[in-house]
Amino acid sequence: MAETADQLVVEGVSKAYRHAIVLDRVSMSVAGGEIVALTGENGAGKSTLMRICAGLLRADSGRVRVAGAVGYCPQTPGLFELLTADEHLVMFGRGLGLGRTTALRRGHELLDEFGFPVGARVVTAEMSGGTRQKLNLAVALLGDPGLLLLDEPYQGFDRGTYVNFWDHCRTWSDAGRAVVVVTHMLAELGRADRIVELPSHPTQDRL
C-alpha cells in the first residue's frame, strides 16, 4: 500500500535525566503504511522516545503529534501477574470502549495470529517470556491503532515467531498503519522501509 499522511511527527524533542542528555533535538516522522526501525546504542534514548511518542513521558522541549489512536507495546510487558490473557483483553478492551464479547473476539483473533494458546486459563506469571510478549503485543493492537510503537516486542520469541513478527509488521503497514519498531537485530533491518538511528551523547559516557 502506498504511504499516506504522517501518523507521527516528532519535532526537536529533547529529554535529560539528571545530568544525562538522553535525547537532543530529535526529529522524525512516520507515514501511514511505513515501517521504521529505530536503532541506536544502549542509552541512546530509544525507549524514552517511544514513551514520549506514546504520551507516557513528557519531553523537556519539542513537540510530538500523532494523527489517531496509538498502540504502544513496551519492552517490559505492563500486565497483571495474576490475570489471564482473557481477563487482560476484557480489562484493556473496556478502556478502549469495547464490550466483553467484542474485546475477547478481537483479542483472540490477534492472539491466534501470533500462535498464542487462545482460551488457556493460565495467568501471566506462569507464561513463558515469549507468550507474555504475544499478549503484550495483542493488547497494543486491540484498539486497532493507526500508529504502532513497538519497543523490542519480540523478546523471548522463538525463531519462527520472530520471523512471523516481521511478516505481521508488513501486514499492519499494508493496512495503512505506521509502525515503529525499536530493534537491535541488524539482520532484519532490511525488512523496514526506513532506519532511524539515534545518536549517543557524550554525557552518557560518564554514567
Give the integer Cα–Cα distance in Å for 119 and 34.
33
Q: How far apart are CB 4 and another protein at their closest, in Å? A: 14
Total binding residues toward another protein, as defined by CB under 8 A: 34
- Residue number with CB closer to another protein (55 or 199): 55
- Residue number with CB closer to another protein (88 or 168): 88
Nearest Cα neighbor of 192 from 33, 70, 53, 64 is 33
Would you say 183 and 39 are in contact if contact means Cβ atoms under 8 Å apart?
yes
Would you say 168 and 141 are in contact if contact means Cβ atoms under 8 Å apart?
no
Q: Does 64 bind another protein (CB under 8 A)?
A: yes
Give the integer Cα–Cα distance in Å for 84 and 87.
5
Query: What mask of x and - would describe binding to another protein in positions 139 to 158, judged by CB under 8 A?
Result: x--xx---------------
Radius of gyration of the chain (CA): 17
Which one among 17, 25, 61, 78 touches another protein, defined by CB under 8 A? 78
Q: How far apart are CB 143 and another protein at their closest, in Å? A: 7
Q: Does 13 bind another protein (CB under 8 A)?
A: no
Listed in sequence order, the residues at least 6 apart from 45 whose beta carbon sits closer than 8 Å to its beta carbon are: 15, 22, 23, 26, 198
Question: Which positions touch another protein (CB under 8 A)?
Answer: 9, 53-58, 64-68, 70, 72, 74, 76, 78-83, 87, 90-92, 94-97, 123, 139, 142-143
